[in-house]
C-alpha cells in the first residue's frame, strides 16, 4: 500500500501538519524499453508530486504590482520555464532562464516549510534587485543549474544571456557567483576569462568538487555544451582554465530525439550532464560526464582536472564507459553518498540509477521512476538528505511547439532514495560490496 503520509514526511523534513498536504502520489509505469534494462528490476516506489504548475507565478509584494508587471510585459507567465532545482535546508531553489521576454527573476526559491503542495509562487533569491536582466556585475541574468555545497555556499553560473538559439544576446559576460546561503550575501564573483569560452559557448551546468582540504579546497567544473570544453575554476587560486577533449563532443549518430510526441534533432549538443563520485583512496573524485547527444558516459579523475598543466595534456586519462545502446540521452546526473548515480533518461520519461561501485553494465542499472505524463522531460535531478528530487518541464514542447497552459506542465517530484532503489540493482551499495570504504572514512 502507498503510504502518502510517510512520503510527505520524508520529503518535507520539517515538522508539518500532514492534514493539509496537497501533494499527490504518482505511480510509475514499468514499461521496459531501450538499453537492456531487462537485466535490471524496476523500482516500485510511488513518487510524490510535491508541486505542480500550469504556469509559473512569482510572489510579488501585492497583486497590483503583479498586474502592473503583466501589463508592462515585465512578467509574461507563459514564457517562464523552470529548468533547474537545488535543495538547501528548507529552501527549494528553482531557476528560470530568460529565453523569452517577461521573466522577472532567474533565481528563485520556494519555502518547503510553508508550502506543502499545490502551485506555490516563486520568490526571487536573494532578492528582486539581484535578478535584473543585463545589470552586469550587480545582478543575475540567466541561471540554469545551481549547486549548494556542504559549506552552505550556492554556486551559481550566470550565462549573462537573454534569448535561446539564434535569438541569444550576450547581455553580460559569463560570471560565476558564489553566495553564502546562511546570509544570502554574495561571497565571490568571477568572470570567466575570454580564453575560457569561444564563439559557440553555451554553459548550463556546473559541478562542485570539495577535496580533502575542506571548504577552501573547492573547484567548479562547468560544461560547455556547444563549445565542447570543460571550464575549471579553483576557489583557492581564484583562477580558471579550459580543458578540451574529443570526448566532450556529440556522437553524430545520436542526435535524433522523440520526446513528448515530438521528433526533433539536437545534433550539436555535447558535454552536459556531470556528476562527481565520493572521494577515492587517492584523495580525488571521479567526474562522470555525458555529451547530451550521445549514448555514452565518460569519466576522468579530478586529479587531472584540478591541475592546469595535467589537464592540458592527459588524453589517455579520460575513460570511456561501455556504450549504453539507445534511448540513453541525459542532461542531469548526481551521485549520492552511497555512490549511487541517478540520472534523467529524457527519451524514456524516466529517471535511472547505476550503482557506481559496480561495473558500468546493464545489470547494474535500473529505472527508479517512469511516468509518461508526469515525467515528460525530467530536466534536473538532485539528492538531498536521502531524498531524490526531480523537476519535469516538457522543455521540447515549450521550445519546438506550444505548451497547453490548461494542463499541468511543470512538476517537482520526490521519493526517498531508499524506497526508489528498493529491489533494484542499485540497492546493494557499498554496504555489501565495499565495506572498507564507508563514506565517513573518506572525509
- The footprint of ligand NAG (CB under 6 A) covers 165-166, 188, 190, 238
CB of 234 to ligand NAG, least distance (A): 10
CB of 178 to ligand NAG, least distance (A): 10
For 143, the grid coordinates are: 541561471
- Select from 107, 103, 33, 109 the least CA-distant residue to 74: 103
CB of 348 to ligand NAG, least distance (A): 26
Looking up cell 537545488 gives 86
Q: Which of 165, 261 has the CB closer to ligand NAG?
A: 165
CB of 233 to ligand NAG, least distance (A): 10
CB of 400 to ligand NAG, least distance (A): 9
CB of 115 to ligand NAG, least distance (A): 36
CB of 235 to ligand NAG, least distance (A): 9
C-alpha span between 345 and 266 (Å, rounded): 15
Helix (H, G, I), strand (E, B) or coil at 111: strand
Q: Which of 238, 246 has the CB closer to ligand NAG?
A: 238
Q: Which of 94, 157 has the CB closer to ligand NAG?
A: 157
C-alpha span between 236 and 292 (Å, rounded): 31
CA terminus-to-terminus distance, the chain: 39
C-alpha span between 336 and 125 (Å, rounded): 26
* Phi, psi dihedrals of residue 431, rounded to the nearest 5°: -55, -35
CB of 238 to ligand NAG, least distance (A): 4
Q: What is the DSSP letter of 214?
A: G
Q: Which of 132, 186 has the CB closer to ligand NAG?
A: 186
Q: Which of 190, 439 has the CB closer to ligand NAG?
A: 190
* Phi, psi dihedrals of residue 360, rounded to the nearest 5°: -80, 80
Q: Which of 89, 193 has the CB closer to ligand NAG?
A: 193
Q: Which of 54, 100 has the CB closer to ligand NAG?
A: 100
What is each CA distance from 308 to 226, 232, 311, in whole angstroms? Answer: 22, 9, 5
Helix (H, G, I), strand (E, B) or coil at 208: strand
Q: Which of 65, 263 has the CB closer to ligand NAG?
A: 263
The DSSP line for 147-177 is: EE-TTSEEEEEE--EESSGGG-EE-S--EEE
What is each CA distance from 155 to 92, 186, 278, 332, in whole angstroms? Answer: 15, 10, 19, 16
Helix (H, G, I), strand (E, B) or coil at 213: coil
Amino acid at each position: 500500500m502507498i503510504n502518502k503520509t510517510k512520503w510527505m514526511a520524508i520529503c518535507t523534513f520539517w515538522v508539518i501538519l500532514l492534514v493539509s498536504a496537497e501533494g499527490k502520489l504518482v505511480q510509475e509505469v514499468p514499461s521496459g524499453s531501450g538499453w537492456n534494462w531487462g537485466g535490471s528490476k524496476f523500482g516500485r516506489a510511488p513518487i510524490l508530486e510535491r508541486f505542480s504548475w500550469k504556469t509559473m507565478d512569482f510572489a510579488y509584494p501585492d497583486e497590483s504590482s503583479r498586474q502592473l508587471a503583466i501589463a508592462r510585459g515585465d512578467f509574461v507567465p507563459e514564457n517562464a520555464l523552470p529548468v533547474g532545482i537545488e535543495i538547501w535546508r528548507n529552501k527549494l531553489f528553482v531557476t528560470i532562464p530568460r529565453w523569452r521576454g517577461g521573466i522577472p527573476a532567474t533565481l528563485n526559491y520556494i519555502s518547503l516549510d510553508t508550502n506543502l503542495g499545490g502551485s506555490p509562487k516563486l520568490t526571487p533569491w536573494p532578492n528582486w534587485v539581484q535578478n535584473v536582466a543585463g545589470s552586469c556585475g550587480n545582478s543575475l541574468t540567466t541561471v540554469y543549474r545551481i549547486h549548494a555545497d556542504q559549506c552552505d555556499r550556492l554556486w551559481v553560473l550566470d550565462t549573462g544571456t537573454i534569448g535561446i538559439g539564434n535569438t541569444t544576446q550576450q547581455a553580460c559576460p559569463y560570471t560565476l557567483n558564489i553566495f553564502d546561503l546562511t546570509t544570502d550575501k554574495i561571497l565571490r564573483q568571477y568572470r570567466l576569462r575570454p580564453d575560457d569560452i569561444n564563439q559557440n559557448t553555451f554553459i548550463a551546468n556546473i559541478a562542485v568538487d570539495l577535496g580533502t582540504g575542506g571548504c577552501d579546497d573547492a573547484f567548479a567544473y562547468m560544461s560547455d555544451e556547444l563549445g565542447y570544453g570543460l571550464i575549471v575554476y579553483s576557489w583557492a587560486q581564484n583562477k580558471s582554465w579550459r580543458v578540451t577533449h574529443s570526448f566532450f563532443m556529440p556522437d553524430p549518430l545520436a542526435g535524433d530525439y522523440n520526446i513528448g510526441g515530438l521528433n526533433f534533432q539536437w545534433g550539436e549538443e555535447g558535454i552536459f550532464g556531470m556528476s562527481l563520485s565520493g572521494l577515492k583512496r587517492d584523495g580525488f573524485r571521479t567526474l562522470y560526464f555525458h555529451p547530451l547527444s550521445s549514448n555514452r558516459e565518460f569519466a576522468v579523475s579530478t586529479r587531472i582536472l584540478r591541475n592546469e598543466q595535467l589537464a592540458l595534456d592527459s588524453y589517455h586519462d579520460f575513460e570511456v564507459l561501455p556504450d549504453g545502446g539507445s534511448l540513453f540521452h541525459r542532461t542531469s546526473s548526481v551521485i549520492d553518498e552511497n555512490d549511487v548515480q541517478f540520472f534523467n533518461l529524457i527519451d524514456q520519461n524516466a529517471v535511472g540509477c547505476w550503482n557506481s561501485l559496480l561495473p558500468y553494465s546493464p545489470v547494474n542499472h535500473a529505472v527508479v521512476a517512469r511516468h509518461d505524463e508526469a515525467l515528460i522531460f525530467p530536466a534536473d535531478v538532485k539528492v538531498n538528505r536521502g531524498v531524490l528530487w526531480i523537476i519535469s518541464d516538457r522543455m521540447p514542447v515549450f521550445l519546438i511547439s506550444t505548451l497547453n497552459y490548461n494542463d499541468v506542465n511543470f512538476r517537482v517530484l520526490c521519493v526517498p532514495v531508499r524506497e526508489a532503489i528498493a529491489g533494484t540493482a542499485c540497492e546493494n551499495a557499498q554496504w555489501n560490496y565495499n565495506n572498507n570504504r564507508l563514506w565517513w572514512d573518506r572525509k
